[in-house]
Amino acid sequence: MQRVSIVHFPGKLRLRVPRGLPAALRIAATQRHTTPAEWARQTLLRGLAAEGVLLSEVMGPSCSDSPEKKDVAA
């Protein structure tokens, strides 16, 4: 039996977006075989890194918004 690590992110972010963006997110996510939320999360993290902002530097070791990892048997 293989163990799969599932990460739960407790924080939420709401954005006002231009018309058509939700549909574009779904299309992009489908092309990457992922969910729109995961595609957006990864894209935002890459964009921040490109700007020189690393999430690990902002959060610090004891940040309450850190993801919760759980091991689940698959």
- Whether the model clears a pTM of 0.85, i.e. scores above it, the answer is no
Q: What is the pLDDT of residues 8-25, one digit of tens each?
A: 778 888 999 999 999 999
Percent helix, strand and coil across the chain, each to the nearest 5: 40, 15, 40
Measured between alpha carbons, how far is 8 from 69 in angstroms, rounded to an integer?
A: 6
pLDDT tops 80 at residue 72: no
Q: What is the pLDDT of residues 39-68, one digit of tens each?
A: 999 999 999 999 999 888 777 665 555 555
Q: For residues 39 and 32, is the Cβ–Cβ distance under 8 A? A: yes
> Where on the phi/psi map is residue 6: left (φ > 0), alpha (ψ -120 to 50), or beta?
beta
